[in-house]
Amino acid sequence: MVRTQLPAPSFAIDLSRILALSAAIGLHLLAMLLLLIPLSHVAPPQAPAKAQPVWQQPIVVPITPPPPQPTVQPQKRPITQPRVPTAAPVPTPVQAALADASPMPVQDAIADPAAVAAEPSVPPTPVSMPVAGMQLQYLRAPAPPYPRDALRDGLQGSVLLRVLVDVDGQPLEVSIARSSGHRILDQAAREQVLKRWKFHAALQQGMPVQAYGLVPVNFSLGR
């Protein structure tokens, strides 16, 4: 019997074999990765488009007014007049009535046109004129402001004003009866009385009347 002796196993590292196995494993992994990648490209979801408002033509619905309701006229009740009792006529004798009746003379019935007296005409009411020389009483009389130019120049004096006061106490006219010697003081006093002052109405026989009066206004620096 012939025995064949097997060669002893070699434990040396075979680099070529290792590289071949590594290359095979790498190709298998690459193939698996390619299989995992989807073939069709899925597009990313797009943002929804903004909704645009749609304008619709308004529908005009004609409004018909309701028919007018018939107005019910209230029925007027007949007004019954109260019955007035009448006295029974008293029979009068015919002869007495004829005896008492006397014919009226025609001349007495017709009035004499010359005898009718003409009615006296009413004289027109005379227009009341303003009363002069009345003593006016003040109701509101604030002092006039001192003019700035007169105060700067040291002007002072007394002005006498002639004032026409209405029946309600309001000044209607203001004129200068006697000047203070300075026009600026005269005008300041006149404007103050005309615009700011008020008087008690003058009375004549218990009735308010328009009246003229003299009003003095003093401008003094008090030195």
Which CATH number goes with the domain that contains 195? 3.30.2420.10
So what's the pLDDT on residue 129? Answer: 76
Closest to 176 in 3D by CA, of 195, 190, 188: 190
- CA distance readout (Å), 172 to 100, 133, 168, 184: 76, 16, 10, 21
So what's the pLDDT on residue 211? Answer: 93
* Per-residue pLDDT tens over the stretch 14-72: 788 788 888 889 888 888 888 877 555 555 666 655 545 444 444 444 445 566 666 66
Q: Which two tokens stand for residue 204?
A: 């004549």
Judging by beta carbons within 10 Å of its beta carbon (0-12, 13-18, 19+), is residue 188 exposed, middle or buried? buried
Q: Is residue 165 part of a domain?
A: yes
DSSP code string of 136-165: --EEE-PPPPPPHHHHHHT--EEEEEEEEE
Q: Is residue 173 part of a domain?
A: yes
Q: What does DSSP assign to residue 115?
A: G
> b/e map of 58-79 (b: 16 or more CB within 10 Å)?
eeeeeeeeeeeeeeeeeeeeee
Q: How confident is the model at residue 222 (pLDDT cuts 50, 70, 90)?
A: confident
So what's the pLDDT on residue 179? Answer: 95
Say what the pTM is: 0.43
CA distance 207 to 138: 18
Which of residues 103 and 128 earns the better pLDDT score? 128
Closest to 135 in 3D by CA, of 211, 218, 210: 211
Query: How large a percentage of the chain has pLDDT more than 70?
Result: 52
Q: Is residue 189 part of a domain?
A: yes
Please tell me the total count of domains within the chain.
1
Q: Is residue 93 part of a domain?
A: no
Q: Is residue 27 part of a domain?
A: no
| Residue ranges making up the domain that contains 203 | 138-219
Q: What is the mean pLDDT of residues 159-182?
A: 95
Residue 196 · residue 164 · CB < 8 Å = no
* Per-residue pLDDT tens over the stretch 141-166: 999 999 999 999 999 999 999 999 99
Residue 83 pLDDT > 60, yes or no?
no
Mean confidence (pLDDT) of the chain: 71
The helix/strand count (H/E) of the chain reads as 5, 7
Collect all residues with Cβ–Cβ distance below 8 Å to 191 and sequence separation of at least 6: 144
Q: Is residue 161 part of a domain?
A: yes
- Sign for the pseudo-dihedral over CA of 146, 152, 158, 163: negative
Q: What is the mean pLDDT of residues 193-218?
A: 93
Q: Which two tokens stand for residue 166?
A: 């209405």
